[in-house]
A and B are shown apart, each in its own frame.
Chain A
Amino acid sequence: MGTLIDEIVEWGGGVMGEEHMETLRLCVQCGKCTGGCPSGRNTALRTRKLFRMAQEDMKEEIFNAPELWFCTTCYTCYERCPKGVKCTDIIRTIRNLAAKEGHMSVPHRKIGVYALKTGHGVPIGPDQMKIRESIGLESQPPTTQKFKEQLEQFQKICKETGFDELIDFDWDKMNLKEAEAKK
């Protein structure tokens, strides 16, 4: 089993390229990320600290840190890092690894439920259909929520990648498994 950095490079590298993720090793703890972080003003998120923890292989601590999920992915740190550390993409990758080990909040899982049921993180309802009609648009846009065969493509992809299992989705109930829903 490799270190957390190895895991980050492997997982994130598979999509964004290993070089992109290797930049985590270049962090010199200057703190420019944290200094300009809009989340850090209001939350416990300290990007510099997260990256130090990653370098020190403090996997469990990072995966259990609530502040890992306070990044809005605004990319301010990514733009400003003087060492070219791809901060935001590293945070997204750490979140992926945390989620794989079950660290994923119920509200986040529920966004996944909407997606698996409709193909949309934010689906349409009857009130919005009326508004659409009132301004001359079709009551429902021609997306996955309208066409079953299109939604099935979306669902099939999520089954192929294991997204349903990641969020503990129950296909019979079309909702989270009992234990998750109660949390």
Chain B
Amino acid sequence: MSEETKEYAYFLGCITPNRYPGIEAAAKKIFKEFGIESKEMVGASCCPAPGVFGSFDMYTWLPIAARNLAIAEEMGLEIYVTCNGCFGSLQEADHLLKAHPKLKEKVNEILGKVGREYKGTTNVYHAVTLLHDDIGLDRLKEKVTKPMKGVNVAIHYGCHFLKPSEVRGLGSSETPFYLENLVKATGAKETVYKDKLMCCGAGGGVRTADTPTALEWARQKLVSMIEAGADCVIHPCAFCHLQLDRGQYEINEAFGTSFDLPVLHVMQFIALAMGMSEKEVGLDQQTTKMPEKLLK
């Protein structure tokens, strides 16, 4: 069956392109393999972070998010993201603006002053849902050339991928299946651990304002993963990536520990399973090191 090439606007956000560009490379390459082109959103900004800018002033958060949505609308494309923060922000903004016409009018008054307009003609997806729902597990399995046999994976969801579930619409936030299915499709095995669905501790401005608290929180999660026998942790969020990867260096500095649990964005993990190299997806450029087991 031949597949037409489809295009999506790839909303990069901040941490993916500016701290962990390997996630960006992995997403673009994976989708290309399935006939999906990732188009650049010229002029996009911070999403802006829902728990941070949304906590400071939601009347600034919303028009900035709407401006990003409007850029994709001008391109005539739907959006995908690789960060839960971006997902939370853009999908929630889109949801609110579609539900409240008066709010849309108000936001467009502001956007009009910078020559933009939000129309409500795009949709926001996460790379994980594109892969899982649109491409599908069967097609993914066909492309797995390096099965992750014998690899024990701790799954970390982050928060805004699933929650609030009434807005995200991806099923129950207590019994999720997206990442579990993707892990299984690569041939790896999930390691169940204590507090699997717990936050990484970074969001809502906590990491910014009180780093030690945020790190202690991540430390507890890492201990649970390691005690359960995980070889690595995979997740769908660039901000969680920063907290769990760079965070391990900071935790080791702060607590005198020696954590080195490999952290992979699910796009990087799948890229490896599809035969791409560690270097191609930036896994040799981060804090935690990848073991042979994941690379052979």
Interface residues of A (CB under 8 A from B): 12, 14-17, 38-39, 42-43, 69-76, 78-79, 88, 91-93, 95-96, 99-100, 104-105, 107-108, 110-112, 115, 119-125, 128, 131-132, 134-137, 141-144, 147, 150-154, 156-158, 160-163, 166-167
Q: Which residues of chain A are within 8 angstroms of B110 by Cβ–Cβ distance?
A: 157, 160-161
- Is B117 in contact with chain A by the CB < 8 A criterion? no
Please report which residues of chain B, range 211-266, place their CB below 8 angstroms from some CB of chain A when the two chains form the complex.
213-214, 216-217, 220
Restricting to B49-82, which residues have a CB under 8 Å from any CB of A?
49-60, 62-64, 67
Q: Is the CB of B55 within 8 A of A95?
A: yes
Contact B40 A166 (CB under 8 A): no
Q: Hey, which bits of chain B sit against chain A, CB under 8 A?
A: 12, 14-15, 17-19, 21-22, 24-25, 40-46, 48-60, 62-64, 67, 96, 99-100, 103, 110-111, 113-116, 159-160, 163-165, 173-174, 195, 197-199, 201-206, 208-210, 213-214, 216-217, 220, 279-282, 285
Would A157 and B60 be within 8 Å (CB), given that A135-B22, A147-B42, A150-B43 are in contact?
Answer: yes
Whether the pair B58, A15 counts as a contact (CB closer than 8 A) is yes
**Which of A38, A78, A132, A141 has a CB less than 8 Å from the CB of B163?**
A78
**Is A120 in contact with B45, judged by CB distance below 8 angstroms?**
yes
User: For A131, what are the chain B residues with a Cβ–Cβ distance below 8 Å?
Assistant: 21-22, 282, 285
Chain A residues closer than 8 Å to B213, beta-carbon distance: 42-43, 70
Contacts of A123 in B (CB 8 A): 14, 18
A107 touches B209 (CB 8 A): yes
CA distance A99 to B56 in the complex (A): 6
The 25 sampled A-B contact pairs (Cβ below 8 Å) are A14-B59, A15-B103, A69-B206, A72-B159, A73-B159, A74-B203, A75-B173, A95-B56, A104-B56, A111-B205, A111-B208, A119-B46, A122-B14, A132-B21, A135-B21, A136-B25, A147-B42, A147-B43, A152-B114, A154-B64, A160-B113, A161-B57, A161-B110, A162-B60, A166-B60
| Given A75-B164, A122-B18, A135-B25: A161 touches B59 (CB 8 Å cut-off) | yes
Tell me what chain B mostly uses at the interface: helix, strand, loop, or mixed: loop
Bound CA–CA A163/B54 (angstroms): 12
B206 pairs with A135, CB closer than 8 A:
no
Chain B neighbourhood of A122, CB < 8 A: 14-15, 18-19, 46
Which residue of A93, A111, A141 contacts B58 across the interface (Cβ within 8 Å)?
A93
Our pick among A72, A151, A160, A162 for the contact of B202 (Cβ within 8 Å) is A72
Q: Which residue, of A110, A151, A152, A158, has the highest number of chain B Cβ atoms within 10 A?
A: A158
Alpha-carbon distance between A127 and B219 when the two chains are bound, in angstroms:
27
Which residue of A39, A69, A120, A125 has the most chain B CB atoms within 10 A of its CB atom? A120
